[in-house]
Amino acid sequence: MTVPDGPHPVLAERTGETLVPTHCCFCGVQCGMYLRVDRRGKVFGVEPRDHDINRMRMCPKGINAYQQINHPDRLTAPLLRERRDQPFRAVGWEEALDHTAERIRRIQQESGRDAFGVLGGASLFTEKAYLVGKFARVAARTRHVDYNGRLCMVSAAGANKLAFGIDRAANPFADILQTDCLLIAGANVGECFPVLTQYLWGARDRGAKLIVVDPRETVIARTADEHVALRSGTDAAFFNAVLHVLVREQLTDEDFLAAHATGWAELKAKVSEYPPDRAARICGVPAEQVVRVARMFGSAPRAMAWHARGIEHHTQGVANCLTVINLCTATGNLGRPGAGYGTLTGQGNGQGGREHGQKSDMLPGGRSISDPVHRAEVAAIWGIAEADLPPAGTSMMEMVWQMQAGEIRGLLGVCNNPFVSLPHYATVKDGYDKLDFHVQLDFFLSETAANAHVVLPVTTWAEDEGVMANAEARVVKHNKAQEPPPGVRTDTWVLCELARRLGHGDKFDFPGSREVFEELRRASAGAVNDYYGITYERLEATGGLAWPCPDLEHPGTPRLFEDGRTYHPDGRVHLQTVDWHPPAEPQDAEYPLTLTTGRTVAHFLSGNQTRRLDPLVAQTPRPWVELHPSLGYANGQPVKVSSRRGSMVLPALVTEAIRPDHVFVPYHWAYPVAANELTIDALDPRSKIPEFKVCAVRIEPAAAVDPVAAPPRPPGRAAHPAPDDMSPPTAPQGRGTDDRR
């Protein structure tokens, strides 16, 4: 590990500013950065940091992230209204908290404890994610708690648990530099994790092969050795066929399988049903390409696969992830430098946020809320009787359906924006509108918060300290760079104050993040997700530690399975057979095209943050519909995109870099140009992840594009000028015409 870097010598000495070492708030790479703090203690800029995760490299979101901190849209006072048809009024914290606690109490008295739910987010520090889970179960005593990682990582989580008994990437990023063949599936690395491209190019400089599986030509697919532009929703068929060829050509590692895996005989029988010709028909790619990919991956001395939402946002998301694990295991590519498997987390703490109890079925340490032994262990830490710990709840989308049905009448949301991020906007809005009480914690007024009864202003990532775990399961320390505005509190403080009003203050006596982290360490001790050996001091000294880290001398676990054992009791990889099934909503005569959704480099998830930052808005001011020239549209032409759930008009971005039978819409903008007006709320039955990546749509010419709504801002703030001048897309990844210049 790198020794900690001190203040940047040249610039700090010259200007008298302070450089605070921390990490980015955005994606799961968790780039190190400095925040530049002026003499008055205000953050005014960013400086690249030579942390070993990113070695000074940054993406446009990270470079502009600091502009959130002192942004004029910041929420700076609690907002309250009794009914949604009333305007918000600014109130003091005592009134807002008393009102909230009273409404929680009343709802639970009238309709039972489970009538109140809690929804968290995976961009929270791990301490706060832990506290969300504890608050729901111990203070609100409800079974209903889930988080927005339900829209991100839960398919990968499900597959990891089934196969390995542990839910994290098997290898660190640095292993990419040592691999001989890198398979990237459903991960638009250049736009979602731009800094990872240094690792990809580092591997290729050594002669490594790159295989990219994606319906679109992403920026890394353009130069890949193989770009498999398959139909969205056919990943399982493709990977089964690759494994079929590996078996046929004896490229599997039978010794490894015999020593370290179970279920190989059944899996081999299953993939015998997937010859390349079958995959070619299902996936829409040449059969020869299946063979080439299999030979490339299977013949590499060390091969590695990483994937992201593109194969996970499906009704068989868990199955898709399992087929990639099957490939790595069958070729013996686990537990060695340059050989392995990983999943790329989209949110800054997409890994850490799912580890310690924020999920509907999980307790700290990755323990199961259904396991009596696990329950007793956590209840003891929390000082409650095991019987008082609620059972498992339901997933985020299911909670919305329960809100519609009146089973959940009240909700506390923190660090999420479901109005933009959950699929099927009409259902989401209906669910939230039916709530008798809704309180949202945020630092900007998101579309979801703007619909709430109470909005509580909380800190940005730079106004508190805490940890996140990046996509390689490395726990990194974020440091406080600035005091928050006077009316703003930490999420920790808010949750503790609410818990006190609900009568459980004795279990929520946390002055700050450090004290929460100390309890989290104890709560995770002895479990699979063991953080016991991680302290703030050790993180500062090392630059970050990968869990499991069971004691204070343990060096951390950058690479799993080096001892040849998984975390199942038998120590083996539990291979699972997978059959491919069509998506919930295949193309048909009425809706002949497939919509797939995803990110653009300038924006982050629901866009609640990035849609307020002028440089990022200038880079990408509005969404578009990306489509192939054979569909007959001119670049910039208004196109109406319709699904069975809604429609919108977007400018066309005409490019050959997408399949002719697919269209793509980025998902960062809100109604009336929110991709979730089109997407389907069909769920993977195991992970409950929505199928964002496939639904059936049709397109037709239209007269004018729908406007981009300015993000909501607190009452009384001056309006930002709308960024939208209605001109065609300018420069989203070079896919269209740059005719503004």
Report in angstroms how near the CB of residue 60 gets to other proteins at its nearest.
4
N-term to C-term CA, the chain: 45
If you ran DSSP here, which 8-state letter would residue 688 be given?
-
Query: From the CB of 48, what's the least distance to other proteins, in Å?
Result: 5
Q: Which of 575, 572, 591 is nearest to 583 (CA)?
A: 591
Q: How far is the CB of 187 from other proteins (least distance, A)?
A: 13
Judge contact between 328 and 700, C-beta under 8 A: no
596: enclosing H helix or E strand? strand 593-598
Structural contact between residues 408 and 430, judged by C-beta atoms closer than 8 angstroms: no
CA-closest candidate to residue 531, choices 550, 553, 518: 550
Considering the complex, state which of residue 571 and residue 723 has its C-beta at the smaller distance from other proteins.
723
The nearest distance, CB 169 to other proteins, in angstroms, is: 19
Please, which residue, 46 or 119, has the CB nearer to other proteins? 46
Closest distance to other proteins from the beta carbon of 582 (Å)? 29
Which residues, 6 or more positions from 583, have their beta carbon under 8 angstroms from its beta carbon? 232, 233, 314, 315, 682, 691, 694, 695
Decide whether 509 or 614 has the Cβ nearer to other proteins: 614
Give the SS3 label for residue 212. Answer: strand
Which is nearer to other proteins, 40 or 741 (by Cβ)? 741
Is the CB of 223 or the CB of 727 nearer to other proteins? 223
Long-range residue pairs from 95-100, CB within 8 A, at least 24 positions apart, any chain = 96/454, 96/456, 97/456, 97/494, 97/497, 97/498, 97/501, 98/501, 99/454, 100/412, 100/439, 100/454, 100/456, 100/498, 100/501
The answer to whether 163 and 531 have CB atoms below 8 angstroms apart is: no
How many CA atoms lie within 13 Å of 395's alpha carbon, on the beta-carbon side?
21
- Our CB check for other proteins shows the closer of 701 and 734 to be 734
Residue 154 vs 658, nearer CB to other proteins: 658
DSSP 473-486: -EEEEE---SPPPT
HEC profile of 259-283: HHEECHHHHHHHHCCCCHHHHHHHH
Taking the complex as a whole, the smallest distance from the CB of residue 14 to other proteins amounts, in Å, to: 8
The CB-of-679 to other proteins minimum distance in angstroms stands at 24
Contact footprint for other proteins (CB under 8 A):
10, 14-15, 45-46, 48, 56-60, 62-64, 190-191, 194-198, 200-201, 205, 217-223, 225, 601-602, 615, 619, 629, 635, 654-657, 731, 733-738, 741
Strand partners for 342: 306
Residue 324 DSSP symbol: H
The CB-of-5 to other proteins minimum distance in angstroms stands at 14
CB of 218 to other proteins, least distance (A): 7
Compute the C-alpha angle 140/103/712, nearest 5°. 100
Q: What tokens appear for 739 in the block?
A: 């005719």
SS3 617: helix
Q: How far is the CB of 204 from other proteins (least distance, A)?
A: 10
Toward other proteins, which CB reaches closer, 49 or 429?
49
Question: In angstroms, what is the minimal distance from the CB of 619 to other proteins?
Answer: 6
* 646-654 and 638-643 beta bridge pairing: antiparallel
Give whichever of 35 and 151 is closer to other proteins, judged by the CB atom: 35
Closer residue to other proteins in complex, CB, 495/657: 657
Nearer to other proteins, 63 or 291 (CB): 63
